[in-house]
Amino acid sequence: MPKRVIILSLILALVSFPAFSHELTIKAHNTAMKEGESFPVTVQSSHKFIVPEEVEILERVKAGIIEDGKFVPSELKANEKNLCIDFTVTPKDLSQSVILVATKDGESWCVTNEGGKSGARKDLEAQGLKVLSANKYDKYAKAIFNTSHDDKNFAFAVGHPLEIIPVTNPFDARPGDFMTVKILLNGQPYTGPVWATYDGFVTEYENTYAYYTEAENGEAHVKITSPGWWGIRASQTGLPGVEGDYDHLNLRSFLLFEVK
């Protein structure tokens, strides 16, 4: 293959690579919880909100419930038929909102002269590959259930490196209103792009959202346009990597909640 063609292929791979990364979300088909009863939930990975497209590697995913301010992990089960990961939680206290979380510890993913490859930069180069870029994508999802007008638990910060925290109580959010959120990057105010959408807005096209805005000094405002299961997304690219492993760390975060 001519050298010019190889270089062009590498450039195209680098430009298109970020679109390959799926978004991590949480979904429950029935959002009504009952105290002391198992509540089934799924972790989904997709380019479409909220249509599952692939099953994440179980060893890299954790999911569960926040109880007494601490994360309690659930047992995860791959569901190849429905392209998701299943888990259940049993809420002990429904006097306040319930927060579920899912995280993915992303592996190093490299763009090479032979296409995309998983593995650390140094390991792939040791195999004779030319590594153009090496990235790691860590993903975080937080879903809020069982909100009420007087509840304050909805604003609990679970401590994700990139976290979206409601300022507006999801219970009070209505179509036509603005939902205000606080976004923290490693504990500091985040400034950058924010996307939002709701279940059913678009199922035909990938990476298509109902709303776009930008956070300034850690605060963003999203206009709610429909009832249903909503997601607000933020991302941070280009954070420092680990020498020999990956060049850059990229973070993705989703906040999910129901608008009635």
SS (H, E, C) 9-45: HHHHHHHHHHHHCCEEEEECCCCCCCCCCCEEEEEEE
Letter for the amino acid at 54?
E
| H or E stretch covering 143 | strand 131-145
Looking at residue 71, its pLDDT comes to: 97
Helices (H), the chain: 3-16, 121-126
Check: CB of residue 28 under 8 Å from CB of residue 44: no
Whole-prediction pTM: 0.90
Looking at residue 234, its pLDDT comes to: 98
pLDDT tens for the 260 residues of the chain, in order: 444 444 444 444 444 344 457 899 999 989 999 999 999 999 999 999 999 999 999 999 999 999 999 999 999 999 999 999 999 999 999 999 999 999 999 989 999 999 999 999 999 999 999 999 999 999 999 999 999 999 999 999 999 999 999 999 999 999 999 999 999 999 999 999 999 999 999 989 999 999 999 999 999 999 999 999 999 999 999 999 999 999 999 999 999 999 99
Check: CB of residue 47 under 8 Å from CB of residue 22: yes
